[in-house]
A and B are shown apart, each in its own frame.
Chain A
């Protein structure tokens, strides 16, 4: 029996959701098939542990909630309020003001929402995110490629044993911003494609598992972390991340994965705001294709000035990139939400006076394919 089917069955059994007939068959099967029974026992153990754990978590949440509330009311005392409880404390203090403000906000947001939704409908049609969905044939081709690779390796005993390649359903780009803790920046819309595994692949085709840490659809940025133990640290970041906007007309280049190998592209900043004057983005005149989402945009001084996000669907050569200053906002926000994540950008900018070819050589090791299934 398939594993997930068995889990479903055992879960219904555990919850007493089986019909009398089904229950009878189930019990019969357990009696007559020791192997099956063994599996059921194992699954039951797991399901019951999970239920208990969930129950315990619910209790903990409830206790925290009550503690916070009581400490706001002054019924119990707690040490200087932090995080959530502080919010509740402030809420208690300013309830009325907040309520009035909220009413106003609701009225305002209704009127804004109408305008925004019309625009964003347009956006859907006119702007295309640049994630490449891999077709079935591609996947099959990959498999074939893997098998050939295996055969080759079997012939060549010297070759090290490699990890099996992970299948992926899409491809986009991302780049490293913290080499100490392996954080990578990509687009939020890229992560929408991930249903199971998130995979990071370098220019050599080596794959590593990653985890999404922070996703913000508003500025379309996401931070992911390579969690794979096999990942070997790479040297300090050769580019710095610019805190101010790039200048109009500034020459830039980008590196990304519109195909299964790294592709170089160049262009210039053609407008300082994005689609419909969205201030989060700037506009580039360059060519970008599916797979370029998340590509770093770098100026001639070797400073990162943007992250490619989408392109105009109706006119060729109009590409939108998220301004690099948003990366700092994203990091700050992430630090607030995820207190135990430790992220730090330390770069040793060495690209300032080097020629383009050297710049590309240095930067490409920091640009990764973002894949997933």
Chain B
């Protein structure tokens, strides 16, 4: 199956956060999702959000080396987006129109549960990050998200050397950890 081979390459690219692969996935599927959302009481912005969420769900799956896509990539994305949008509409007490749906749909509930759980723990970390204050926030983001080297961080934050920056980083990390577990307990 030529199609499946290509999907596999795209998924591997997505797992590496490869730009070209993600672009291809967008180009091949975005319009379809936008139509789905627009035809069902959504806006262009809703479509963008939902599509992004489906990319994150897909990314989680792609990261798992054992993951095999049992349907076409297109079908999977469509199913995820439809389910996500349905939930959003239900939250807003609105319902999906029962009319046309020629697209094939697969069950994605399990994937979405995983996604929801993951999202909850991201929220905790995000809260902790928001509370930590500067310069810790920028420093930790530079190291963990932007993956900058300590040397680079030291000069950017005007620490005398990489070792000093590293010491500071661990001080910040200790604080973040406290905030993280405090938030964690709050939610439990």
Residues of A within 8 A of B (CB): 3-5, 7-8, 42-43, 46, 49-54, 56-67, 69-70, 75-79, 192, 194-198, 211-212, 227
Write 8 A-B pairs (CB below 8 A) sorted by A numbering.
A49-B124, A52-B122, A53-B122, A54-B144, A54-B145, A57-B145, A69-B23, A194-B134
Tell me the complex Cα distance, A46–B141, Å.
15
The residue that A8 contacts in the complex, of B34, B48, B170, B176, with Cβ under 8 A, is B170
| CB <8 Å contact, A77 and B34 | yes
Chain B positions within 8 Å of A4 at CB level: 167, 170-171, 173-174
Q: Which residue of B lies closest to A67 (CB)?
A: B48
| CB <8 Å contact, B17 and A67 | no
Q: How large is the interface on B (under 10, 10 to 19, 20 to 34, 35 or more residues)?
A: 35 or more
Tell me the complex Cα distance, A46–B173, Å.
10
Shortest distance between the CB of B152 and any CB in chain A (Å): 16
Tell me the complex Cα distance, A197–B48, Å.
39
Shortest distance between the CB of B166 and any CB in chain A (Å): 8
Chain B positions within 8 Å of A61 at CB level: 145
| CB <8 Å contact, B30 and A62 | no
| CB <8 Å contact, A62 and B17 | yes
Residues of B within 8 A of A (CB): 17, 19, 22-23, 26-27, 30-31, 34, 43-45, 48, 52, 55-56, 59, 118, 121-122, 124-126, 133-136, 141, 144-145, 147, 158, 167-168, 170-171, 173-174, 176-177, 180-181
| CB <8 Å contact, B27 and A70 | yes
Tell me the complex Cα distance, A59–B135, Å.
23
| CB <8 Å contact, B19 and A66 | yes
Tell me the complex Cα distance, A273–B22, Å.
54
Chain A positions within 8 Å of B177 at CB level: 3, 7, 43, 46
Given contacts A8-B170, A67-B52, contact A76 B30 (CB under 8 A): yes
Shortest distance between the CB of B128 and any CB in chain A (Å): 9
The residue that B171 contacts in the complex, of A51, A52, A196, with Cβ under 8 A, is A196
| CB <8 Å contact, B174 and A53 | no
